[in-house]
Amino acid sequence: MKTKLTVVKIGGNVIDDAETLKHVLQEFSQLDSPKVLIHGGGKIASELSLKMGLQPKMVDGRRITDADTLKVVTMTYGGLVNKNIVAQLQAFRCNAIGLTGADANVIPAQKRVTKEIDYGYVGDFEVDNIDVERLSFFIDGGLTPIFCALTHDQQGNLLNTNADTLASGIATTLAKFYETKLIYCFEKPGVLLDADDDNTLIRELGYLHYQQLKDDGIIHTGMIPKLDNAFAARRHGIEVGIKHALDLNKPAGTILL
């Protein structure tokens, strides 16, 4: 029988609000099973970019990452946000280790190449290329991996990688060794029919229903990559939930069918 494991992704306003983040990390530290945390930090990176005179550029919720922006996201994701999270988890007696995909060569990737848009130093990875044995070595050794949204191209370059995609990929590969659950946490109670009305929560969402909502423009922008990645993990038999970060340990939010 496989050991249970929980993969949690936090993003959005959760990371920006110190009290909310502290509460979520305390809840995360109390999870009984082995666990992995993946985080973004996009809003902080955007604020820092503006202070440095760099105008953030986004396409469909994905950041265009030129050389200067890569420096900003590396400082923000891999430094400020990641190490702050690790330090707070240590205070909650959760022995965390902060990682990028470059550390221990866990997540090699390749620079995204498209004809339509030059995303710059943005990376895509194959789930089968994640070193699940190395990752499980950390976990089985009693450490809790905390991944920021950076991978590498094995040529000396870090790559900005979508954190929702990273969470889905990590959960999928760990499902080979563990009974894996994936939880996406952000500032909303789950998937909503009306993004401005928390009372329109969809408690159960199937893929065909999602496609219809997307076609109708009800689900749009940043929720699309989140749900695309969530359903990608669900197709591998992984239990997937999307909920408010403050409800991490509660039976709440949207469950994917």
CATH number at residue 182: 3.40.1160.10
The boundaries of the domain holding residue 187 are 3-256
62-73: per-residue pLDDT in tens? 788 999 999 999
Q: Is 79 helix (H, G, I), strand (E, B) or coil?
A: helix
How far apart CA 9 and CA 15 sit, in angstroms, is 11
Tell me the pTM.
0.95
| Ligand-binding site membership of 141 (annotated) | no
| Ligand-binding site membership of 156 (annotated) | no
Helix/strand/coil (H/E/C) assignment for every residue in 34-76? CEEEEECCHHHHHHHHHHCCCCCCEECCEECECHHHHHHHHHH
CA distances from 46 to 8, 41, 70 (A): 23, 9, 12
| Ligand-binding site membership of 229 (annotated) | no
pLDDT for the residue numbered 65: 92
Residues of the chain with pLDDT under 50: none
| Ligand-binding site membership of 11 (annotated) | no
Q: Show Cβ contacts of residue 121 under 8 Å, excluding neighbours closer than 6 positions.
A: 65, 66, 67, 69, 70, 111, 157, 158, 159, 160
| Domain count across the chain | 1
154-204: per-residue pLDDT in tens? 999 999 999 999 999 999 999 999 999 999 999 999 999 999 999 999 999
